[in-house]
Amino acid sequence: MAAPGRCRPSRLHSRRRFPKLRLSPELMHPRRWITYALTALVCWGLGHCLFITIDGLTDSPEPADAAVILGNTVNPDGTLSVRLAQRLRRGLELYRAGQVKRLIVSGGLGREGFYEGTKMGEYLRQQGVPDSALIVDNHGNTTQQTVRNVLLLRDSLHFTRLLVVSQYYHLTRTKMLFRRAGFARVGSASPRYFEWRDVYSLAREFGAYYTQLLAAEKTKDGPMLPVVSKPGGLAASVYF
């Protein structure tokens, strides 16, 4: 019992008081937070570019049913750009080594007025690839359309594993699009060809990868369009 004339201290006053945390004005300044955000973005971008470079330069050793060679620029005189020719040579190496059974070439109508798929097919035929092992897609105007067109051939070609052939910086995003579309067994191979413009392409791929990763899938089918262009070969069609 407390002594007369003395008050028992209340619980409120007996609790230990902690000093209030106060952020310095420098930490609260908007410019500092903008600097932190930009630094984080740059580190993220550099890390992503490093990852896709390593991933793109690591060729898949497993055999596949087909190699999908993505299109690129055809010169105004109708010849293949060096970049496109390198992709085709890499795909040809895979075919001749027996790592793939078929070659699927996919591209769109370029500004120069040539169908990339047709020009790619002509080159491969000149190199001895028979029509029975060659599929030409002239409606692959974008990477997403190429992925969709190829997967619509799945039932007719009965493929269970694919290899994507393109520049090294392009392969991580392409494989992601295949997996996102429900086809997980996809590998890659790239030509050992480098340009100064690869720096720009790496930066562009950083934005394109996450934009397409987060984008909602389009499910509405459009009009039916022919994909395959080869005499006496397998016929197929796709929707987009």
Q: Coil, helix or strand for 130?
A: coil
Residue 126 inside a domain? The answer is: yes
User: What is the residue whose two structure tokens read 């007719």?
Assistant: 156
Total tally of structural domains belonging to the chain: 1
Cβ count within 10 A of residue 179: 13
The one-letter amino acid at 71: G
Range of the domain at 101: 62-214+222-231
For residue 12, being part of any structural domain is answered with no
User: Sheet of 64-70: strands edge to edge?
Assistant: 134-137, 100-106, 64-70, 162-165, 186-189
Is 67 part of any domain? yes
The verdict on residue 18 lying in a domain is no
Token duo for residue 11? 């619980």
Contacts of 106 (CB under 8 A, 6+ apart): 68, 69, 70, 71, 117, 137, 140, 146, 149, 150
Domain presence at residue 185: yes
Q: What is the DSSP letter of 77?
A: T
Q: How far apart are CA 90 and CA 236, in angstroms?
A: 25
Place of tokens 């004005």: 25
Q: What is the CATH number of the domain that holds 196?
A: 3.40.50.620
> Which residue reads 């694919």 in tokens?
162
CA distances from 16 to 3, 8, 11, 12, 21 (A): 25, 17, 10, 9, 15
Rounded distance between C-alpha atoms, residue 85 and residue 78, angstroms = 12
What's the distance, Cα to Cα, between the start and end of the chain in Å?
88
pLDDT in tens, 100-118: 999 999 999 988 899 999 9
**Each residue's pLDDT tens digit in the chain (240 positions)?**
555 555 555 554 555 665 665 656 665 567 776 877 778 877 877 888 888 889 889 999 999 999 999 999 999 999 999 999 999 999 999 999 999 999 999 999 988 899 999 999 999 999 999 999 999 999 999 999 999 999 999 999 999 999 999 999 999 999 999 999 999 999 999 999 988 988 888 888 888 888 888 874 543 344 334 444 443 333 333 333
Residue 114 falls inside a structural domain: yes
Q: What is the pTM of this model?
A: 0.76
